[in-house]
């Protein structure tokens, strides 16, 4: 099982932003890099992290913030709560 | 004798107006074009002139077919795949039949599908040829999404090109097309749509604009396409290694790269042309096929898998044995 820190780090790398610059409240649109295309990169990078399991979660595309992404991953038992 | 079908010729037409990434930044100075290009992979799109319609460019693609190896009166049926017809009614295929000077005995109809439309059209053409005494069918794919896309639409404008293709499908003694895997998930019909179009109640007809929920469509693709590929391999009783080339709908770099990752396909096994052609919707696969043949990535006897996916949400996959 992956950790929340690994997920956050993956999102930061996907968005090409500095380590530590993402927090739980960061939302799509709140930083320049997290636009609609950046969102696709996040989904793609998380799918790599979770070995293709992200593609099976239908509501993950609706997650608009770090917190919402983490909550969906918890609900699907991919990370610890 | 049992009759099958084969692809005998593919021609396409790309409008002369080229829209570069520099042009997009000129219109939208706040767009980070370097970032957009890195993710979409697309450098250029082809756009119709304001006065140029889907019918106009479809005719130009069809004329290329008649300039090569078939006569107009040899055509038995005409299928037009489009989501951007000149009119909701009548079917644009009727207008194209008349404008091309095809016989009145020609069966003509439209298919309202987008990026999966070529594979659906191929299945319909194959079925018609296998079940009737017809010899030749013309499968026309044409879309002019630029007519629906706002100049400041950051999701759609960097992706889509206008284009038309004409594919000649003829009767054959050998099976060269199929089997097929087709599917639909209408729960996502609002994820890709032309809003304010058709006969919906309380319509705001001021502007018909294309809308794409990029992340929902991306996840649909990741969920559905690898499964369709594997289902087709099972149906054909072959392994992924047996396929010489995969021609996916040229959606964008991000989509193609992820399909390669999920299916563990090498670059050599996957044809790509989105960089210089853009996403041409229903013509995406026939244009890619034509270019792959011209550059000898597809040779006589090559086993090629075609996979279309998109608006609907809809998908289709098939295998062709080229020129057997």
Q: Is the dihedral of CA B69, B71, B76, B81 positive or negative?
A: positive
CA dihedral B17, B32, B114, B273 (to 10 degrees): 70
Let me know if A58 is exposed, middle or buried by CB neighbors in 10 A (0-12, 13-18, 19+).
middle
Q: How far is B222 from chain A (nearest CA, A)?
A: 6
Choosing from B144, B173, B202, the residue where a domain stops is B173
Tell me which chain B residues have a C-beta less than 8 angstroms from the C-beta of A60. Answer: 219
pLDDT of residue B182: 98
ipTM of the complex: 0.86
Residues B287 and B240 in one domain: yes
| Residue in A33, A40, A52 nearest the CB of B215 | A40
Given its phi and psi angles, is residue B292 left (phi above 0), alpha (psi -120 to 50 degrees) or beta?
alpha
pLDDT of residue B211: 86
- In eight-state DSSP terms, residue B45 is E
Domains of chain A: 4-75 (1.10.1200.10)
Residues B73 and B168 in one domain: yes
Ranges of residues in chain B whose predicted pLDDT is under 70? 202-207, 324
Residues B254 and B182 in one domain: yes
Kindly determine whether residue B32 and residue A32, on different chains, have CB atoms separated by under 8 Å.
yes
CA dihedral A61, A64, A67, A70 (to 10 degrees): 10
**Which tens digits make up the pLDDT trace of A23-70?**
888 998 888 888 888 899 999 999 999 988 898 887 888 888 999 999
Kindly determine whether residue A56 and residue B254, on different chains, have CB atoms separated by under 8 Å.
no
pLDDT of residue B324: 66
Buried b (16+ CB within 10 A) or exposed e, B245-273: bbbbbbbbbbbbbbbbebbebeeebbbbb
pLDDT of residue B54: 97
Residues B198 and B99 in one domain: no
DSSP states along B235-257:
HHT--GGG-SEEEE----HHHHH
Residues B25 and B49 in one domain: yes
Q: How many independent structural domains does chain B possess?
A: 2
Backbone φ, ψ for residue B27 (5° rounding) = -75, -30
Rounded Cα distance, B193 and B71, in Å: 37
B279 is catalytic: yes
Rounded Cα distance, B161 and B156, in Å: 10
Choosing from B146, B173, B200, the residue where a domain stops is B173
Looking up residue B233, the CATH number of its domain turns out to be 3.40.47.10
pLDDT of residue B205: 60
Tell me which chain A residues have a C-beta less than 8 angstroms from the C-beta of B32. Answer: 32
Residues in chain B: 324
Identified catalytic residue from B48, B136, B156, B249 = B249
User: What residue in B sits closest to A34 (Cα-Cα)?
Assistant: B35
Q: What are the distances in angstroms from CA B317 to CA A45, B4, B112, B133, B233?
A: 26, 18, 17, 26, 10
Residues B193 and B308 in one domain: yes
Residues B35 and B169 in one domain: yes
B208 is catalytic: no
pLDDT of residue B150: 87
User: What residue in B sits closest to A45 (Cα-Cα)?
Assistant: B258
pLDDT of residue B206: 60
Rounded Cα distance, B18 and B116, in Å: 25
Q: Structural domain of residue B142, as residue ranges?
A: 4-173
**Contact present, B193 and B184 (Cβ < 8 Å):** no
Residues B314 and B169 in one domain: no
| Residue in A32, A44, A58 nearest the CB of B258 | A44
Tell me which chain B residues have a C-beta less than 8 angstroms from the C-beta of A59. Answer: none
Q: Where are the beta strands (DSSP E) in B199-275?
A: 209-212, 245-248
Q: How far is A43 from chain B (nearest CA, A)?
A: 8
Interface of A with B in 13-52 (CB under 8 A): 32-33, 35-37, 39-41, 43-44, 47-48, 52
Residues B205 and B307 in one domain: yes
Choosing from B152, B173, B194, the residue where a domain stops is B173
Residues B182 and B300 in one domain: yes
Residues B201 and B293 in one domain: yes
Let me know if B11 is exposed, middle or buried by CB neighbors in 10 A (0-12, 13-18, 19+).
buried
Kindly determine whether residue B223 and residue A55, on different chains, have CB atoms separated by under 8 Å.
yes
Residues B155 and B189 in one domain: no
Tell me which chain B residues have a C-beta less than 8 angstroms from the C-beta of A54. Answer: 219, 222
**Contact present, B218 and A40 (Cβ < 8 Å):** yes
Kindly determine whether residue B213 and residue A61, on different chains, have CB atoms separated by under 8 Å.
yes
């Amino acid at each position: 099982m992956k950790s929340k820190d690994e997920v956050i780090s993956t999102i930061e790398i996907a968005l090409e932003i500095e380590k530590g610059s993402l927090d739980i409240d960061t939302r799509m649109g709140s930083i320049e890099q997290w636009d609609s295309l950046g969102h696709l990169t996040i989904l793609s990078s998380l799918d790599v992290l979770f070995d293709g399991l992200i593609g099976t979660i239908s509501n993950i595309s609706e997650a608009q913030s770090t917190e919402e992404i983490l909550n969906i991953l918890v609900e699907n038992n991919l990370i610890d709560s | 004798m049992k009759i099958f079908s084969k692809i005998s010729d593919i021609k396409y037409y790309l409008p002369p107006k080229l829209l570069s990434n520099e042009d997009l930044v000129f219109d939208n100075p706040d767009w980070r074009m370097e970032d957009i290009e890195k993710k979409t992979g697309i450098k250029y799109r082809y756009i119709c002139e304001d006065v140029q319609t889907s019918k106009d460019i479809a005719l130009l693609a069809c004329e290329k077919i008649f300039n090569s190896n078939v006569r107009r009166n040899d055509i038995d049926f005409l299928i037009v795949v489009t989501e951007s017809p000149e009119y909701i009614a009548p079917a644009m295929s009727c207008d194209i039949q008349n404008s091309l000077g095809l016989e009145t005995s020609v069966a003509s109809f439209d298919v309202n599908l987008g990026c999966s439309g070529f594979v659906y059209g191929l299945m319909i053409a194959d079925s018609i040829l296998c079940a009737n005494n017809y010899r030749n069918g013309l499968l026309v794919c044409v879309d002019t999404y630029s007519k629906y896309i706002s100049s400041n639409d950051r999701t759609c404008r960097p992706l889509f090109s206008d284009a038309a293709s004409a594919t000649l499908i003829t009767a054959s003694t050998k099976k060269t097309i199929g089997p097929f895997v087709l599917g639909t998930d209408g729960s996502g019909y609002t994820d890709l749509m032309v809003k304010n179009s058709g006969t919906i109640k309380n319509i705001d007809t001021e502007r018909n604009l294309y809308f794409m929920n990029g992340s929902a469509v991306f996840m649909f693709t990741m969920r559905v396409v690898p499964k369709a590929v594997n289902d087709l391999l099972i149906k054909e009783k072959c392994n992924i290694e047996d396929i010489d080339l995969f021609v996916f709908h040229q959606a964008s770099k991000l989509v193609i790269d992820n399909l390669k990752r999920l299916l563990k396909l090498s670059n050599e096994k996957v044809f790509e042309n989105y960089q210089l052609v853009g996403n041409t919707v229903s013509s995406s696969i026939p244009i890619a096929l034509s270019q792959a043949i011209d550059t000898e990535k597809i040779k006589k006897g090559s086993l090629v898998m075609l996979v279309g996916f998109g608006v609907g949400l809809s998908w289709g996959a098939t295998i062709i044995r080229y020129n057997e």
